[in-house]
């Protein structure tokens, strides 16, 4: 097809879960409740960090920043999803789709490196306890957070430009509930092999790279715990690290399956389910995984409750 024969697409249709029309209102209620609970849980962690001096440590500094990322991440996807659950016109403009993809990639990539930074913090706390305060200085923590945002920004810009410079023709129906790379590439009029290679390389850098760093950190952590610590210290260290490992596994596994499998293996229902895991379900579970298993958080909550009771 000649370039001049391409039909310019001005908007996309987000198919979402329109295949189950009788469940649209039920899905709206489920997603709305999930969104509200997630926002409140992440805001709670941020507030707890700000109002609890005993939590002003690198670990909780990263956790508070991670919660802020999660709030932005959810707000990029869910409000539009809620609108589409109640609307017959599930459209999004061409540029609106580009902005949504850019924000999603920025925040998702930033989360990957934030999780790696959190693993690095735990590695230093357990493997180098005497040097910990010197290694994880406040300026270092701030640089790691800024670095995560910069990497996310770079990935977002690069991938968004590559995808939206493709010529789209024919169908404008995106087989997902938000603007993601794989379903958009399937709408392109030309061979997308180059884009697939770039996506693979970026995915390796964004997902596999931080995952390997996290695995190496925890391999060293486990080795150190088993060698040096008493049974009581081992239990406390494993309790702290297990929460992070659960979050890392949930996030990385779903994202890896989504972006590293062959294009020919994309399945409509499977793809939406995987998208749900790392865009909605994981951000809902993360704050509870961190807080319910964390004694420091429980103690901080008790102190705040006691202050409120005294004030009243």
Residues 6+ apart with CB under 8 A from 229: 237
How much is the pLDDT for 93?
92
Q: Is 296 helix (H, G, I), strand (E, B) or coil?
A: helix
How much is the pLDDT for 267?
56
* Structural tokens at position 189: 């009029």
The residue behind tokens 């081992």 is 234
How much is the pLDDT for 154?
94
Region of 69 on the Ramachandran plot (φ > 0 left; ψ -120 to 50 alpha; else beta):
alpha
Sign of dihedral through CA atoms 262, 282, 32, 102? negative
How much is the pLDDT for 37?
94
Q: Are strands 91-93 and 173-174 parallel, antiparallel or unpaired?
A: unpaired
Concatenated DSSP letters for 54-119?
GG-SHHHHHHHHHHHHHHHHHHHHHHHHHHHHS-S--EEEHHHHHHHHHHHHHHHHHHHHHHHHHH
In tens digits, the chain (312 residues) has pLDDT values of 444 455 568 889 988 776 666 778 888 999 999 999 999 999 999 998 998 888 899 989 999 999 999 999 999 999 999 988 888 788 899 999 999 999 999 999 999 999 999 999 989 988 888 899 999 999 999 999 999 999 999 999 999 999 999 888 778 888 888 998 888 988 888 888 888 888 888 888 888 888 888 889 888 888 888 776 666 666 666 666 777 777 777 777 777 777 766 655 555 567 777 788 878 888 888 888 877 667 777 777 777 777 777 776
Q: Which H helix or E strand runs over 13?
A: strand 11-14
For the whole model, what pTM was predicted? 0.87
* Structural tokens at position 306: 């006691």
Domains identified in the chain and CATH numbers? 9-311 (1.20.1070.10)
How much is the pLDDT for 277?
82
What are residue 229's phi and psi, to 5 degrees? -100, 155
CA–CA distance from 25 to each of 14, 45, 235 (Å)?
Answer: 17, 30, 45
How much is the pLDDT for 80?
92
Contact 123, 157 (CB under 8 A): no
Buried b (16+ CB within 10 A) or exposed e, 96-129: ebbebbbbbbbbbbbbbbbbbbbbbbbbbbbbee
């Amino acid at each position: 097809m000649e370039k001049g024969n391409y039909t310019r697409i001005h908007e996309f249709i987000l198919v979402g879960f329109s295949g189950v029309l009788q469940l649209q209102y039920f899905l709206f209620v489920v997603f709305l409740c999930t969104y509200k609970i997630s926002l409140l849980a992440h805001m709670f962690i941020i507030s707890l960090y700000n109002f609890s001096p005993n939590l002003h440590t690198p670990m909780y500094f990263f956790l508070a920043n991670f919660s802020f990322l999660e709030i932005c991440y959810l707000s990029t996807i869910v409000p539009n999803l809620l609108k589409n659950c109640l609307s017959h016109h599930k459209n999004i403009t061409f540029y609106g789709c580009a902005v949504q993809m850019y924000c999603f990639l920025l925040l998702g990539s930033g989360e990957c490196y934030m999780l790696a930074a959190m693993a690095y913090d735990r590695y230093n706390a357990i493997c180098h306890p005497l040097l910990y305060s010197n290694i994880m200085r406040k300026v270092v923590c701030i640089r790691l957070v800024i670095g995560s945002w910069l990497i996310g920004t770079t990935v977002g810009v690069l991938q968004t430009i590559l995808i939206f410079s493709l010529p789209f023709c024919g169908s404008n129906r995106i087989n997902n509930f938000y603007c993601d790379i794989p379903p958009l590439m399937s709408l392109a009029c030309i061979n997308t092999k180059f884009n697939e290679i770039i996506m693979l390389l970026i995915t390796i850098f964004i997902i596999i790279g931080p995952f390997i760093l996290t695995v190496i950190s925890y391999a060293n952590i486990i080795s150190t715990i088993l060698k040096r610590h008493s049974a009581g210290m081992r239990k406390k260290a494993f309790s702290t690290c297990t929460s992070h490992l659960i979050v890392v596994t949930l996030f990385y596994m779903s994202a890896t399956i989504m972006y590293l499998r062959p294009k020919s293996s994309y399945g409509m229902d499977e793809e939406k389910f995987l998208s749900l895991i790392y865009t909605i379900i994981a951000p809902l579970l993360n704050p509870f995984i961190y807080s319910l298993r964390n004694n420091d958080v429980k103690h901080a909550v008790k102190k705040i409750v006691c202050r409120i009771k005294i004030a009243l």
